[in-house]
A and B are shown apart, each in its own frame.
Chain A
Amino acid sequence: MSDAPKTINLLIAALGGEGGGVLTNWLIDIADACGWHCQSTSLAGVAQRTGATIYYLEFMRRDGDNRRPVMSLFPAQGDIDIALTSEIAEAGRMVSRGFISPDRTTLISSDHRVFGITEKTHMGDGAADRDLILAMSARYAKRFIHFDMAELVKRHGTVISAGMLGALAGSGVLPFERQAYEKALQSGGGATANLSAFSDAYERAARGGVGVVDPAITPEKEAGFVLPEPRTDAGRALLPIIASLPAPIQEVVYYGAQKLVDFQDTAYAMTYLQAVEGLLAIDAPESSYESTREAARWLALWMAFEDIPRVAQLKLRPSRDDSLRQEAGIGAAEPMKVSEYFHPRVEEVASLLPRRIGEALLRSRVMRKLVNNALGARQLRTDTIVVTLALRGMAALRHVRRHSLGYHHEWRMITAWLDAIRNAPDPEVARALVDCGGMVKGYGSTRHRTTSRLMLIVDKVAAGKATTAHAIHDLRIAAMASEEEQPFQSALATLSP
C-alpha cells in the first residue's frame, strides 16, 4: 500500500479571536469547490479567551466512486504537511511540540509578536527572543515562509486570517488554484479588504516570504552613530565636550545631554557631562567603555526625573496631537477629546516646594491630609484651554526646580549612587552598581520602591556587606523580581552580617 493515495494534513495555530474558525471555513469551501474532501476539527474550549487555539484539517481528492476516506482528528508528529501559524511564538510552539518535521512540513507563519502575559508583566524587559524562535523554525521546517502578516493586513484594513489564507495559497503547497481561494473570499463579508490582503500575502509567500521587503529592517538601524554638527547655542557649548569623549559612549551621552537641556537648561546638561567624565575611570583606557556608557544612560534618565513640571512639559509636546490621532485612527478633521488620568499626592506637591517648606508640609499630618484631600484622582481634559494653560504654568515651574525638595532629594540619591560607582574596588563591582541605575523607574509608590531599594543596595555596598559584583547583581535581580518585599528581603538576608 506504499503508493496509496494519502491525505494532505494542515495544522493551524492561532490565538483566540483571530478568526481561525473563519479561515477553516474558507478552506472547507475551497476544497469542496475543487472536488476535494476536507475534514476539520478544532480545540476551542476556554482557549477562545486570549489563549492559543488549534485547528486541524485533512484534505483528500474525491475519487470516482465517491468513497469517503477515514481521516484523523489528531495532528500527529511526523504526519503534518503544512503548519500555518498566526504569530511567531506559536510557530515556535509547534516546533517544540514536534509537529514540524524537517523532511515534510512547510511552516508558514506571521513573524510579528503578540506578547504573552508573563512577557508583559515583567518589571523590565521580559520579551521572548524572537530571533531564536525564527532560527529554530528555519532549522526544523522543510520550508519556512514568514513575514509580518499583522502589518500587512492592517494596511488592507482587515484581520490576520485573510493574510494567512493568502500566504497559504501563495506557498503553493495545497493543490488549489488561486481563483478558488478568491472565490471563497468574495462570498463573505469584508470581501474587498480581504481580497486585497489575500493578494498581497499571496505575492509575498510566492516569493518566499521575508527578504523581499521588510520594513522592520531599515538601513539606518545598521549604520553607526555620527555626532551631528551644532545648530544652537546649547549645541555649540556641549557638542565639543561630547566629541572629546570616547567614541563608544558618544551616542548615549548625546541623547542624554539633549534630554537634559530640554528638561532644565544647558548648565544642567553641562553638570551631566562633567559627571560622565568623572566616571570614565571605571573603564580601562582604549576599551569599549561599556560601563561608562550604561552609567551615562541611567544617569541621564535619572537626572531628568519625572516631577510635575516634567510631566506637564511632556504632555505639552507639539507632536502629541498627531500621535493621539494616529493611535486612535482618526483623521485630522474630526474633533477629539482627551482626558488624562492624574493622581497627584502631597508628596509630589511637597517635592515642588522649597526644601524646608516641603519638608515641613510632609511632617504635618494635618497639612498632608488637607493637601491630599484637595488633590486626589483627577481626569483632566488636556485638550481644553484651561488645562493647557495650567499645564504650561506647571511646566514653567522648572525654572525654580533647583530649589525644590524633589530636586534635593533626587540629587542626594544620585550622588550616593555615583559615589558608590566611583569608589568601587574593581571594575566588575562598578559595573554591577552601574546596572542598578536601571532600577530607577515609575511614579509615586513605584518610584519610592525602586529608588529606596537601590539606596539599600548602595548602603550595603558602602557598609562592606555586599562586596562582590555577583552579590550586587543578585540583589538587583531580587529587587526587580517583585513588588512584594519578600524576594528582596530574603536576598538582603543572605548577605554577610
Chain B
Amino acid sequence: MAERSFVEEVKKLRAGEGDVFKGEGILAITKALLQSGVSYVGGYQGSPISHLMDVLNDAQDILGELGVHFEASGSEATAAAMLSASINYPLRGAVTWKSTVGTNVASDALSNLASAGVTGGAMVIVGEDYGEGSSIMQERSYAFAMKAQMWLLDPRPNLTSIVDMVEKGFELSEASNTPIFYMMRIRGCHVTGEFEARANVAPAFSNKTPVVPFREPEKIILPPFVYAQEREKIAQRLPAAVDFIKTQRLNEVFPGRYEQLGIITCGGSYNTVIRALERQGLADVYGTSEIPIYCLNVAYPLIPDELVEFCVGKRQVLVLEEGQPEYIEQGIQTILRRRDVQTRVFGKDIMPMAGEYTGQVMLQGVTTFIEACPGEPIPLRLGASAVAALETPVSDEDIAELMVSLPPRPAGLCTGCPERPLFSAIKQLQAELGPFHISSDIGCHSFATAAPFNLGNTIMGYGLSLASSSGVRHALPHKAISIMGDGGFWHNGLTSGVTSAVFNGHDGLLIVIDNGYSAATGGQDIPSLVEPNLIATTLDAKRPKREQWQPIEDACRGAGVKWLRTVSTYNIEAMKETLRAALSSDEPGLKVIIAEGECMLNRQRRIKPMIKQAINSGKRVEKARFYIDPETCTGDHGCIRISGCPSLTIKENPDPLRLDPVSYVDNSCVGCGVCGTNAHSAVLCPSFARINVVHNPNGWDRLLDRVRRGVRGWFGRREQRRLERSSL
C-alpha cells in the first residue's frame, strides 16, 4: 500500500480515442504505454518516478484486461533484466527507475541488452534526479546511453509531446533494434496538463496470445557473437536510428526571423528557453520565437544532417544541455568541424557546467548569447546587467540578516517514526562508549546523519552499508556498525552485504531497520512484512498478511548468520542492551539486529480509518497523545536533542520569570511514546505525560473516572485554598 493512492486517477487510463486526458506527467506516460501496446512493465520505485510504479500498481485491473504483465521488481537490475523478453520476440516492454543510481544498479543487464539488440521495442523510463529537489549525487544518464549505445529521448515537457514520444520511442527502438532511454526530469514527472488520448492497444503477445519459443544464438552474449554485435551497432543500428529520427521528424525546428542566430536545446529545457525569450520580447506565450530553435527530443544520437542544415549560414548557435561533461556540445563541435561549418558554438563557456538551467540561469545565458552576436544589435527588454540584477532584489545587508534568521529545514524522520527511538538509543550508547564510525545506507534512516542525531559516516549506495564497512572494520576501535533498511536489505544488502560478510568472517554489527515498507520512496510493499506494534491505541487489527512473505530473519539465517536478535525499536532500554551485547560479544561472526517497528506514515494511513470507524460504531477505543508539563519544563530542550520529532516543538514559556521557550507537544502527536521513553532512558525530566483518551467508555470506565475525579477534586479544592493563601 503506497503512500499515495492513484485508484481514482487510474480510471483516466481508460480514456478512448479523442478524449481529452487531464493529469500529471507520470499518469500520461502510463497512458502512453497502454496506447503503445506494451506487453510487460516493471521497475523499481524512487523519486521522481515513484508515482509511476504506484500508478502501475493501482492500474492492475486495466493492465490485466489488456493482458499487460506488471512486476514490482526487486531492484533496477531485476527490472532491466526483464527487458530480455524483447530480444527474441516482438514484445514491447518498459521498465522504470530513478537515475543515475538505478541505471548504475541495472548496468550489467542494460549493457548486455544493448549488445544483443532487441526485436520488440524496449524502453527504460529514467527519472533524471538532477537539480533542486534531488536526493542523490548529481550525474547525467547521458554517459550510459553513449557508452552502451542506447538512444536517449528527452521530450519537450508538455503532455502531448511526452505521450507522442513514448509511442515514437517504441517505433524507433524496433526500427533500430536498440533499447531506449526515455528521460523525465523531476519537474517534468510532476507537471500537469492535457493531451488528446488515443485508444489503448492490447499487446500482440501476452498470456492470452503466447509466443512460439525460438532461439537466435547470435543474440547471446558470448564470443564470437559479441564482436558481431559491436559491429552491428555501428553498421546497422545507428544508421537505422538516424534515418528513423530524420524521416519521422522526432527533433523539431522552430524557425525565427533572426536567422544569424540559433538555439539548440534539449527537449526538456525547451519551455524554459521560450520563457527566457518571451521575457526578452523575442517569443510569445504560444512558442512563436524570433530566434530559430532546434529542439532535440532525441538527445542521443545526434543527427549530423539536421545539425548542419540548422547551423549553416548562422553566425552563432547556443547549445543548451544541463550538467557535465558537455557531451552534446562536444558532439556538435565534432559534426560541424567534420563538415567544415564555421558557425561559432556557444555552450558551457557561457552556461554553468553544474546544476539545472533554471529560469534565471536560462535568461542570463540567452541574453549573453544574443548580446555576443556581432552586427546590428537585437533589441532586448533587459540587458545582461539588468538580468543579473534580477537574481535578487534584496540588499546585501538584508540577505545577511535573513540568512542568520531563517531556519534550515532539512528532511527528517516523521512524527512517530519507528527509526527515531533506534537512533536515540544509539546516541545514548555513543555517549557512554565513545564516538562511533557508522556505515549508513539509503533510506529514511539516512536522515540520522543530520541533526539532531548526527550519526553516520558514509553512504555508498542502496543496501551497501554492510559491504562498505568491510574495508574499515579492521581499523576501528569498536566492532563495525552498519545500518540498513529493509528496502536496502532486499534490494542488495542480503547478497552484497550479509552473504559476503558471513563468508569473510565479518564480526561487526548490522542493524536492519524493518519498517515493513520501502518507506523513503513512498511506502511501497517489500518482500518482508512487519508485525504491527500495539502503540498509542488499543485498537489495531493485524496487518493483512500476504500469502507469501519472506522474513528477513529467515533470509539472514539462510545466509549463515548465527547471532540474530529482533527488538522493537520503541523499547529503547531493550535496544540499548541488545546493542551493547552485540558490540561486546565474544562470539565470532556477524551480529544482526532486526530493529522492528512499522513505518508510522503507513501505520497511520492503515489505522486512522479503522479508529474512526470503531469510534463511530460505539466501540471502546483508547487513543494516546503526549503532553509536556509547562510548569516543570525548564526549557533546556534536551528532549528535542535526542529525538527531533516534528511534533516535539517549543512555545512561549508561561512562567513570567523564565525567558527560554518550553518544549511542547503539538497536535500532530501520534502517541508513539518515544519522548516519554527517552525521558526515562536518558533520565531527563519529569515533564512528560501520556494522556489516554477513552472513547465510548464502558460503565466501569465511567464509574472509576467519577470516583477518581471526586477524590482529585476534593484535594484540588484544598490545594486551591492553599494557593490562594500563598498568593500575595
Contacts and interface: CB of A to CB of B under 8 A. Distances in A.
A101 B391 CA distance: 10
Contacts of A5: 284-285
A327 interface: yes
Interface in B182-222: 186-188, 190-194
A203 B132 CA distance: 36
A116 B409 contact: yes
Nearest to B403: A96
Contacts of A67: 286
> Which of B193, B447, B657 has most chain A Cβ within 10 Å?
B657
Given A43-B132, A232-B724, A341 B281 contact: no
Interface string A55-82: 0100010000001111111111111000
Interface residues of A, number: 137
Interface in B49-64: none
B683 A71 contact: no
A6 interface: yes
Interface string B708-725: 110110011101100111
B418 interface: no
Contact of A341 (B444, B451, B688, B708): B688
A120 B686 contact: no
Contacts of A49: 411-414, 444, 447
A452 interface: no
A2 B640 CA distance: 55
Interface stretch (B36-44, B223-231, B331-339, B689-697): B689-697
Contact of A234 (B285, B629, B725): B725
B617 interface: no
A40 B192 contact: yes
A388 B715 contact: yes
B402 A96 contact: yes
Interface stretch (A127-135, A423-431, A456-464): A127-135
Interface stretch (A162-170, A328-336, A351-359, A409-417): A328-336
Interface stretch (A204-212, A258-266, A466-474): A258-266
B401 A136 contact: yes
B19 interface: no
A98 B638 contact: no
Contacts of B134: 45
Contacts of A28: 192
Interface in A232-270: 232-235, 238-239, 251-252, 254-259, 261-262, 265
A306 B692 contact: no
A96 B399 CA distance: 6
B379 to A, nearest CB: 11
B392 A262 contact: no
Interface string B48-85: 10000000000000000000000000000000000000
A300 B659 CA distance: 13
A73 B272 contact: yes
Contacts of B573: 377
Contacts of B447: 49
Nearest to A29: B22
B471 interface: no
B513 to A, nearest CB: 15
Nearest to B282: A1
Contacts of A60: 285
Interface stretch (B368-376, B488-496, B548-556, B646-654): B646-654
A150 to B, nearest CB: 10
A339 interface: yes
A343 B640 contact: no
A4 interface: yes
Nearest to B285: A69
B410 A98 contact: no
A72 B192 contact: no
Given A68-B160, A120-B649, A335-B705, A442 B638 contact: yes
A334 B694 contact: yes
Nearest to B22: A32
Interface in A123-175: 123-125, 127-129, 132-133, 136, 139-140
A324 B728 contact: no
Contact of B275 (A16, A76, A255, A311): A76
Nearest to A39: B193
Contacts of B697: 334-335
Interface string A170-202: 000000000000000000000000000000000
Given A89-B407, A232-B726, A7 B285 contact: yes
Contact of B284 (A4, A329, A392, A445): A4
Contacts of A52: 409
A301 B658 contact: yes
A341 B573 CA distance: 14
Interface stretch (B100-108, B109-117, B141-149, B355-363): B355-363
B712 A125 contact: no
A288 interface: no
Contacts of A265: 726
B631 A317 contact: yes
Contacts of A495: none
B659 A125 contact: yes
A419 interface: no
> Which of A42, A50, A114 has most chain B Cβ within 10 Å?
A50
Given A69-B285, A79-B275, A377-B680, A98 B390 contact: yes
Contact of A125 (B272, B286, B661): B661
B285 A4 contact: yes
Nearest to B636: A442
B22 A446 contact: no
B627 A297 contact: no
Interface in B404-453: 405-414, 444, 447, 451-452
A363 interface: no
A235 B725 CA distance: 9
A316 B719 contact: yes
Interface in A102-117: 102, 114-117
Given A127-B661, A252-B657, A443 B686 contact: yes
> Which of B452, B646, B702 has most chain A Cβ within 10 Å?
B646
A251 B47 CA distance: 56
A414 B727 CA distance: 25
A382 B308 CA distance: 83
A139 B691 contact: no
Nearest to A384: B708
B657 A256 contact: yes
B91 interface: no
Given A336-B693, A339-B692, A442-B634, A133 B406 contact: yes
Interface in A4-20: 4-7, 15-17
Contact of B694 (A68, A98, A336): A336
Contacts of A115: 407, 649-650
B683 A50 contact: no
Given A77-B392, A122-B637, A232-B725, 8 more contacts: A44-B133, A56-B187, A74-B358, A121-B640, A127-B650, A311-B686, A336-B691, A382-B689
Give 8 closest A-B pairs by Cβ, nearest first.
Answer: A76-B359, A116-B407, A43-B133, A98-B392, A235-B728, A318-B716, A335-B705, A441-B634
13 contacts: A45-B129, A71-B275, A92-B405, A140-B394, A317-B631, A318-B723, A335-B705, A340-B686, A341-B676, A343-B680, A343-B683, A383-B708, A446-B638
